[in-house]
Amino acid sequence: MNGVGGTIVETEAYEREDPASHSFVGLTERTKVMFGPPGYAYVYLSYGIHSLLNFVCEPEGDAAAVLIRALEPTAGLETIRERRPAARTDLDLCSGPGKLTEALGVTLADNAARLDRDPFQLLPPEGDPPTVVTSPRVGITKAVERLWRFSAAGSPYVSRPRPVSASGH
Applying CB under 7 A, the residues found at the interface with DNA are 12, 14, 20-23, 25, 28-31, 34, 42, 44-50, 52, 54, 65, 67, 84, 86-87, 92, 96-100, 108, 137-142, 159, 161
Least Å distance, CB 125 to DNA, is: 21
**How many C-beta atoms surround the C-beta of residue 44 within 10 A?**
16
Q: Which of 25, 132 has the CB closer to DNA?
A: 25
Q: Which of 30, 81 has the CB closer to DNA?
A: 30
User: What are the angstrom distances between the C-alpha of 145 and each of 136, 142, 160, 168?
Assistant: 6, 8, 17, 17
CA end-to-end distance (rounded Å), the chain: 37
Q: Which of 1, 65 has the CB closer to DNA?
A: 65
CA-to-CA distance for 24 and 11, rounded, in angstroms? 19
Least Å distance, CB 39 to DNA, is: 16
Residue 6: strand, helix, or coil: strand
Q: Which of 59, 130 has the CB closer to DNA?
A: 59
Least Å distance, CB 152 to DNA, is: 17
87 and 67 Cβ atoms separated by less than 8 Å: no
Least Å distance, CB 98 to DNA, is: 3
Residue 21 half-sphere exposure toward CB, CA atoms < 13 A: 27
